């Protein structure tokens, strides 16, 4: 990454007295105050003169010995200003400005002689802080965090868009409620998942979106989650104080630390404009710069895949039903009877390759290509996959050769079934195998309970694994899209080959338990704050029984909204998830998916309200094309869009993919209209999204 | 492995009725009876008409659903005879006869429709049985064993040589007591260790040596411990019934199973002659044949090492005391101040190489050569070693080149500090590194509590790891000597590059907490039943303060006993553990260590009583040389040795290394005599071992 502007480091001041200190955001609108009250570190945050985080205590419970809770005194405070603009390898914008004022509070616990610092960074759109444990001699090096006790004291019974705290899954629908309603609504918010571990009647996950009655949007999350366990928030619903709740390890501890060390940043995006919340780069800015020298091999990807047919039950990942269980070292698949429903057959994959090549997709994901799918799930099976051996009906060499001849790549799939030791044992060979065959992207999966048993998806152990996989993949110039991994916290800035994650309830649920209709109006506020999601939009056939007579699910979305998601759900990795034959029935609408960019020079959030609607316009990378997307909830959404983001004086053609007047996700999800219109920066478009609907607009200059 | 005699498989009979069945050993002296009593599988064992294992129940507790305890019925029984002689890659004997009668009991639990078999093999010197879970359709594939409930009902209050049951260490001194005394003596038997987890007031480890009042020796252990957790024995000291007690995993379960599957063999060596117990090959015979095609690269090793000087505190593994903790990714050792006590310096290692070359040793172990030793122990440190980076004062290239020029190899050292994920992540590179530099043997170590945290040294997880390491090493033609790993169970037959293990209290304790004086008269009965031990004998300087003024320990052994251990403690891997300068003070005695073989064509146990003495004669591999060793306990030992194992009619020279008349481990441990004598097969030698003493004899034909 080149730095556009040299970083500005301005030494502002230093305070040697143990008195309350405070720091303002660059625009002066956000103030973070800090004090040690009765020996307890305490901070608060105001926004435009109003308190948004009331005095909140900070501290850490250790498993042994005196805690890092009280008895502190301030040794020194210092402040610094920082202003730098940097360029991500891929992203919503070409340039990102990292502009903050920093307050470092150095503290000492005289009874133990331990040192602990707090570092606050205050931005115009929020703030972050972390604990730091400086090197301080042999007396305090290794310690075990039983629980972090960071408070986020809310000032009222805010509205929240939340999912239940869980150590193993984030794949829940969001509930919109008052904080005071979480306790009563939480049990009903939890539906089944292969691996789930809720922990508290008022525990919720981050990123958590809140809104005060006077219109302030507060988003609580974390940034740069490295060598630490993921944080949940546990609500005291008498006081409306959230407290950090770290994911425990197999022994019930949270984190093993070695000083010098820092925690992840605890973040609060604070705005009075929902669009600004969506546009915030605070999480990325709190991560470290890119760790790689050469990033030329990291490229956004638009792909299709042999996947939705398995999700819907039209075909299977597995090859046979002939054997009660599989042992990879002894099974001979050529001796068993195929059940005939295997999706990843040579013939079927060729069909997808043909479709991808014809319509300009970069890659074809193939799930179920490798042996072991007969008993991969829910068995706590250690040696579940080897990641290199294809089923007999999958011609690995031939298909890769065929794809290459058509200018398409196959995308690798590594489902781990949560068996991490097994994956790590095979990882080097599996990545080398990918290099050999020309795969440069892997979708990895972590379905089910972890092995090592007792560890959780979001604990320190697993967080180390996910990052290990990304770093090892980088050595092979491989991009990673990890499903079921810990929700992202901006690490894609440092490791941009982490090109996607799932870590939330994605489109796959439309084929079974369902997504709430307003789900896609919430995810950009919550899950997407930390990084892109492989949401896999683009479903055109809403009736699952058309694919699998036994499947009664229906997708709760109109087709235009499915198109809009390529714009509203920012990701450098975008799938067209439906089957080629369904796209072939709607080639006019499919054109948008073919045209839409996956990397951007600029993004403008135009309208947004969590749970209601999001409208965003994005300018394609290195192009003058713009794409606009709108997703709406139950109520639909009406917009009068100003196209003032277009270059003044230029003329453009807008192709508008809109819900038909009678469209409705319940009754008429496929009713869409496509129209074209000449537009300029002065154009105002009146647009309407149906209930569960949306719209998508492709805007191209007419003068080139 | 070639088979000397074709296997004899004789179909003896089949019983289709659910009645008591029994099978005899080939010589008819041991009988195993089996019945299902009130639905519970039950066996018993008699020896020469006397019951040695009273009716004992067999069954398995599962974590979920109906247990495999009762409600069984016999479906079928069948018997087979087997007689085969095979050749180990290395061993105490050139040929090993595997001769048994087998009883297979096929059972069904009608309430669940599950199938469970028991397979018994009855040898002239004992018996083994295992549980088998045949493939039986999808209803019973994956299951979790909470605890195995195999009983071994003793018929009286026998004498036992035991160490406390523990999930994490076997490094205890043995206690000799009646079974009824275990409860009262167990707490006092446990001294400190970095990682220890006792579990029951009457829990003991296998291999457990017992003796009845009427002179029957019973040894309880297990064979072929693969993909299962190690078994301890928990005594009901009212009934004198031992019950299996498996090492739990981090969640408190014992084993995750996938049918078809078998348990390890539960073994009882039963003789009325302690020498026959020592000579038994029952454990090896119950293991699978060699898994490797080419074994030419597996060679016994005699070695010295930069090790005892660290154990005694004369020098250090670490390089600096200048930093409170080490992070491998950032530490720059060239910038820190060395503490000057580092053992693995280029200069010091060259001295050891010179000594090894001069005296014909194969290899030089160097511990502390690689970075990270400053804070490696007891910290639960994940990224503790990288296994490839030397300290700045260790010239890796130069030393390997120097060793090669002298015809000596360096021996690799991989201490894992129990951080298993870290080791497995580095394993492939570490083994490839060894290949590159010409190392063909690694001493690995597992000191401290495990990472993944909550797992134990002897659980299924770790047992899988140890075997994984051995198999991966084989791919690089590397031999493994794993310390602190699970006690061996004969797996060296199948994987003969597992050339050694520690898994008991070894010589290192002589430099600190001490070994009981009779320790070496017990280990061959117990620890060595499953495979060789890297006991590291050969200490000549018994006063540790001579090495390190602050160390007050004294070795409880005479020098002749130290020599004898090379014969009595069978191992294809033998270290001369003391410092070169100590050997140089006693070059006449050292000659025995130079001469003694490390691989054998034949072994004859001449006299033995656990806790008292062991005398063994061995014929060197491919040679007519014999070596005799005697180790004794507190009482010393007098022998009149018949040399009738020598070839009749031939004349030999015997070089006799004996305790001097005034030798005593307490007062005069270094008093030895060396004499030579012409001997034949008719010679009878009167030999005396001092308290804590022994003798060693080298016998060479005079006619060649």
Question: What is the average pLDDT value for chain A, to the nearest integer?
Answer: 96
Residue with tokens 């005034």: B662
**C-alpha span between A63 and A257 (Å, rounded):** 12
Q: Which residue of A has its CA nearest to B452?
A: A452
Assign A47 to helix, strand or coil. strand
Q: Which two tokens stand for residue A440?
A: 């440069």
pLDDT confidence band for A192 (50 / 70 / 90) = confident
pLDDT at A10: 45
pLDDT confidence band for B324 (50 / 70 / 90) = confident
B428 contacts A424? CB cut-off 8 A? no
A464 contacts B452? CB cut-off 8 A? no
B468 contacts A425? CB cut-off 8 A? yes
Residue of A141, A375, A382 with shortest CB distance to B256: A382
Chain A positions in Cβ-Cβ contact with residue B421 (cut-off 8 Å): 421, 424
Question: What is the average pLDDT value for chain B, to the nearest integer?
Answer: 96
Q: Is B650 on the interface with A (CB under 8 A)?
A: no
Neighbour tally for B102: CB within 10 Å: 18
Q: Which residue of A has its CA nearest to B420?
A: A421
Q: Is A259 on the interface with B (CB under 8 A)?
A: yes
A425 contacts B424? CB cut-off 8 A? yes
**Angle at CA B408, nearest 5°, toward B406 and B411?**
145
Q: What percent of chain A has pLDDT over 90?
A: 95
Residue-wise pLDDT for A602-618, tens only, equals 999 999 999 999 999 99
CB proximity list for B585: less than 8 A, separation 6 or greater: B540, B541
A381 contacts B142? CB cut-off 8 A? yes
Residue-wise pLDDT for A362-381, tens only, equals 999 999 999 999 999 999 99
Catalytic residues of A: 508
Q: Beta strand pairing status for A479-483 and A441-445?
A: parallel
Closest CA to A439 of A447, A430, A448: A430
Q: Which residue of B has its CA nearest to A462?
A: B452
Residue-wise pLDDT for A625-667, tens only, equals 999 999 999 999 999 999 999 999 999 999 999 999 999 999 9
Residue-wise pLDDT for B105-115, tens only, equals 999 999 999 99
Assign A397 to helix, strand or coil. helix
pTM: 0.96
Residue of A135, A327, A452 with shortest CB distance to B461: A452
pLDDT at A428: 97
Residue-wise pLDDT for B293-303, tens only, equals 999 999 999 99
Mean pLDDT value of segment A550-575: 98
**C-alpha span between A297 and A478 (Å, rounded):** 8
Closest CA to A218 of A151, A129, A155, A281: A155
Q: Where are the alpha helices (DSSP H) in B330-459?
A: 346-359, 396-405, 420-437
B425 contacts A468? CB cut-off 8 A? yes
Q: Crossing angle of helices B420-437/B396-405, nearest 10°? A: 50
**C-alpha span between B667 and B665 (Å, rounded):** 6
Cβ atoms of residues A375 and A385 within 8 Å: no
Residue-wise pLDDT for B363-380, tens only, equals 999 999 999 999 999 999
Residue of A144, A325, A468 with shortest CB distance to B259: A325
Q: Is B135 on the interface with A (CB under 8 A)?
A: yes
User: Mutate which of B139, B250, B259, B453 to test chain A, going by most A C-beta atoms within 10 A?
Assistant: B453
DSSP secondary structure letter of residue A273: -
pLDDT at A2 over 60: no
B250 contacts A251? CB cut-off 8 A? yes
Residue-wise pLDDT for B661-691, tens only, equals 999 999 999 999 999 999 999 999 999 999 9
Mean pLDDT value of segment A148-172: 98
Residue-wise pLDDT for B555-567, tens only, equals 999 999 999 999 9
Cβ atoms of residues B411 and B364 within 8 Å: yes
Q: How many Cα neighbours within 13 Å face the side chain of A386?
A: 11
Residue of A259, A381, A461 with shortest CB distance to B452: A461
Residue-wise pLDDT for A387-445, tens only, equals 999 999 999 999 999 999 999 999 999 999 999 999 999 999 999 999 999 999 999 99
- Give B130 to chain A, closest Cα distance, Å: 21
Residue of B251, B379, B425 with shortest CB distance to A142: B379
Q: Is A330 on the interface with B (CB under 8 A)?
A: no
Find residues 462-491 of chain A whose CB sits inside 8 Å of chain B.
Answer: 464, 468
Q: Which two tokens stand for residue A223?
A: 């940034």
Q: How many residues comprise chain B?
A: 704
Assign A180 to helix, strand or coil. helix
Chain B positions in Cβ-Cβ contact with residue A470 (cut-off 8 Å): none
Instruction: Count contacts between A and B (CB, < 8 Å).
Output: 88
- Give B70 to chain A, closest Cα distance, Å: 25
Query: Per DSSP, which regions of A87-150 are E strands?
Result: 96-109, 114-123, 126-133, 142-148
**Angle at CA A258, nearest 5°, toward A255 and A261?**
90
**C-alpha span between A254 and B173 (Å, rounded):** 37
A464 contacts B325? CB cut-off 8 A? no
- Give B276's strand partners: none
- Give A56's strand partners: A43
Report chain B's C-alpha Rg in angstroms: 25
Mean pLDDT value of segment B14-23: 67
Chain A positions in Cβ-Cβ contact with residue B324 (cut-off 8 Å): 135-138, 141, 259
Q: Residue A192 class from Cβ within 10 Å (0-12 exposed, 13-18 middle, 19+ buried)?
A: exposed
Mean pLDDT value of segment B137-145: 94
pLDDT at A5 over 70: no
Q: What percent of chain B has pLDDT over 90?
A: 95
Q: Which two tokens stand for residue A544?
A: 């699952």
Closest CA to B376 of B366, B362, B387, B365: B387
Chain B positions in Cβ-Cβ contact with residue A375 (cut-off 8 Å): 141-142
pLDDT at A505 over 60: yes
CA distances from B463 to B128, B228, B255, B460 (A): 21, 7, 11, 5
Per-residue DSSP letters for A465-523?
A: HHHHHHHHHHHTT-EEEEESSPPP-STTTT-TTEEEE--S--GGGGGTT---TTHHHHG
- Give A2 to chain B, closest Cα distance, Å: 25
Residue-wise pLDDT for A453-470, tens only, equals 999 999 999 999 999 999
Mean pLDDT value of segment A61-87: 96
Chain A positions in Cβ-Cβ contact with residue B258 (cut-off 8 Å): 325, 327, 379, 381
A424 contacts B424? CB cut-off 8 A? yes
**Angle at CA B102, nearest 5°, toward B98 and B103?**
165
Cβ atoms of residues B441 and B478 within 8 Å: yes
**C-alpha span between A696 and A685 (Å, rounded):** 12
Mean pLDDT value of segment A576-582: 98
Q: Is B250 on the interface with A (CB under 8 A)?
A: yes
B379 contacts A258? CB cut-off 8 A? yes
**C-alpha span between A88 and A290 (Å, rounded):** 8
Mean pLDDT value of segment A213-229: 98
Q: How many residues comprise chain A?
A: 704
Mean pLDDT value of segment B64-85: 96
Residue-wise pLDDT for B465-507, tens only, equals 999 999 999 999 999 999 999 999 999 999 999 999 999 999 9
pLDDT at A149 over 50: yes
- Give A143 to chain B, closest Cα distance, Å: 9
Cβ atoms of residues B634 and B643 within 8 Å: no
Chain B positions in Cβ-Cβ contact with residue A381 (cut-off 8 Å): 142, 258
pLDDT at A520 over 90: yes
Residue B288 designated active-site: no
Closest CA to A507 of A586, A571, A599: A571
B375 contacts A325? CB cut-off 8 A? no
Q: Which residue of B has its CA nearest to A138?
A: B324
pLDDT at B7 over 90: no
pLDDT at B475: 98
Mean pLDDT value of segment B341-347: 98
Q: Is B142 on the interface with A (CB under 8 A)?
A: yes
Q: Residue B354 class from Cβ within 10 Å (0-12 exposed, 13-18 middle, 19+ buried)?
A: middle
- Give A614's strand partners: A608, A631
Q: Which of B102, B367, B415, B508 is catalytic?
A: B508
A464 contacts B382? CB cut-off 8 A? yes
B452 contacts A250? CB cut-off 8 A? yes
Q: Which residue of B has its CA nearest to A378?
A: B142
Listing from the earlier edge strand, what are the strands of the sheet with A60-62?
A: A60-62, A142-148, A255-258
pLDDT at B249: 98
Residue of A249, A424, A425 with shortest CB distance to B453: A249
Residue of A144, A381, A455 with shortest CB distance to B452: A455
pLDDT at B194: 84
pLDDT confidence band for B18 (50 / 70 / 90) = low
pLDDT at A18: 52
Q: Residue A464 class from Cβ within 10 Å (0-12 exposed, 13-18 middle, 19+ buried)?
A: middle
Element (H, E) at B581: helix B580-583
Residue-wise pLDDT for B186-233, tens only, equals 999 999 888 899 999 999 999 999 999 999 999 999 999 999 999 999
Q: Which two tokens stand for residue A243?
A: 């407290």
Find residues 382-401 of chain A whose CB sits inside 8 Å of chain B.
Answer: 382
pLDDT at B430 over 50: yes
Q: Is A197 on the interface with B (CB under 8 A)?
A: no
- Give B425 to chain A, closest Cα distance, Å: 7
pLDDT confidence band for B65 (50 / 70 / 90) = confident
Cβ atoms of residues A519 and A171 within 8 Å: no
B142 contacts A380? CB cut-off 8 A? yes
Q: Which residue of A has its CA nearest to B469?
A: A425
Cβ atoms of residues B60 and B67 within 8 Å: yes
Residue of A327, A428, A461 with shortest CB distance to B428: A428
Residue of B138, B251, B375 with shortest CB distance to A453: B251
């Amino acid at each position: 990454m080149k730095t556009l502007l040299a970083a500005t480091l301005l030494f502002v001041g230093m305070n040697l007295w143990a008195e309350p200190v405070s720091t303002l955001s660059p625009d002066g609108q956000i103030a973070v105050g800090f004090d040690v009250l009765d020996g307890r570190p305490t901070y608060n945050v105001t926004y435009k003169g109003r308190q948004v985080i009331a005095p909140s205590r900070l501290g850490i419970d250790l498993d042994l010995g005196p805690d890092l809770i009280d008895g502190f005194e301030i040794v020194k405070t210092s402040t610094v200003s920082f202003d730098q603009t940097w360029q991500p390898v891929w992203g919503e914008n070409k340039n990102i400005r990292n502009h903050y004022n920093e307050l470092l509070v150095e503290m000492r616990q005289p009874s133990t002689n331990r040192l602990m610092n707090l570092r606050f960074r205050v931005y115009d759109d929020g703030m972050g802080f972390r604990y730091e444990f400086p090197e301080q001699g042999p007396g305090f090096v290794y310690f075990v965090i039983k629980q972090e006790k960071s408070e986020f004291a809310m000032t009222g019974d805010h509205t929240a868009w939340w999912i239940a705290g869980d150590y193993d899954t984030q794949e829940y629908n969001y509930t919109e409620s008052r904080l005071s309603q979480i306790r009563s609504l939480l049990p009903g918010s939890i539906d089944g998942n292969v691996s789930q571990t809720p922990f508290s009647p008022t525990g919720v996950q981050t990123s958590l979106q809140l809104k005060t009655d006077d219109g302030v949007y507060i988003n609580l999350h974390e940034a740069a989650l490295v060598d630490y366990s993921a944080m949940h928030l546990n609500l005291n619903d008498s006081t409306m104080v959230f407290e950090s709740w770290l994911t425990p390890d197999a022994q019930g501890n949270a984190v093993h630390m070695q000083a010098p060390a820092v925690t992840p940043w605890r973040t609060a995006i604070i705005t009075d404009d929902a669009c600004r919340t969506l546009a915030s780069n605070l999480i990325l800015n709190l991560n470290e710069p890119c760790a790689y020298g050469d990033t030329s091999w990291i490229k956004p990807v638009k792909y299709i895949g042999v996947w939705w047919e398995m999700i819907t039950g039209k075909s299977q990942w597995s090859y046979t039903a002939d054997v009660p269980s599989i042992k990879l070292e002894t099974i001979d698949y050529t001796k068993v009877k195929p059940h005939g429903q295997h999706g990843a057959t040579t013939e079927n994959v060729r069909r997808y390759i043909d479709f991808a090549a014809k319509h300009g997709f970069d890659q074809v994901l193939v799930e179920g290509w490798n042996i072991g799918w007969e008993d991969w799930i829910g068995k706590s099976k250690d040696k579940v996959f080897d990641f290199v051996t294809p089923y007999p009906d999958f011609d690995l060499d031939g298909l890769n050769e065929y794809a290459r001849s058509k200018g398409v790549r196959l995308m690798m799939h590594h489902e781990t079934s949560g068996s991490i030791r097994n994956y790590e044992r095979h990882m080097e060979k599996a990545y080398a195998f990918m290099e050999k065959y020309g795969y440069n992207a892997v979708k990895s999966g972590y379905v089910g309970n972890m092995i090592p048993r007792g560890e959780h998806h979001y604990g320190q152990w697993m967080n180390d694994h996910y990052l290990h996989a990304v770093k090892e993949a980088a050595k092979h110039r491989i991009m990673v899209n990890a499903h079921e991994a810990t929700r992202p916290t901006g690490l894609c800035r440092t490791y941009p080959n982490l090109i996607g994650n799932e870590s939330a309830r994605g489109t796959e649920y439309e084929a079974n338990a369902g997504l709430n209709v307003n789900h896609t109006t919430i995810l950009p506020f919550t899950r997407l704050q930390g990084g892109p999601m492989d949401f896999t939009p683009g479903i055109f056939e809403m009736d699952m029984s058309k694919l699998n007579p036994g499947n009664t699910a229906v997708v709760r979305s109109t087709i235009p909204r499915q198109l809009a998601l390529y714009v509203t759900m920012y990701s450098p990795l975008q799938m067209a998830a439906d089957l080629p034959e369904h796209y072939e029935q709607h080639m006019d609408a499919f054109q948008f998916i073919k045209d839409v960019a996956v990397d951007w020079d600029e993004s403008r959030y135009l309208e947004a309200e969590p749970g209601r609607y999001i409208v965003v316009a994005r300018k394609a990378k290195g192009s003058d094309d713009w794409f606009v997307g709108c997703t709406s909830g139950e109520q639909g959404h009406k917009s009068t869009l100003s196209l003032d983001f277009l270059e003044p004086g230029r003329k453009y053609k807008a192709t508008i993919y809109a819900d038909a007047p009678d469209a409705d996700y319940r009754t008429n999800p496929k009713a869409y209209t496509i129209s074209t219109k000449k537009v300029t920066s002065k154009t105002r478009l009146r647009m309407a999204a149906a209930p569960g609907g949306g719209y998508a607009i492709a805007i191209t200059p007419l003068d080139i």
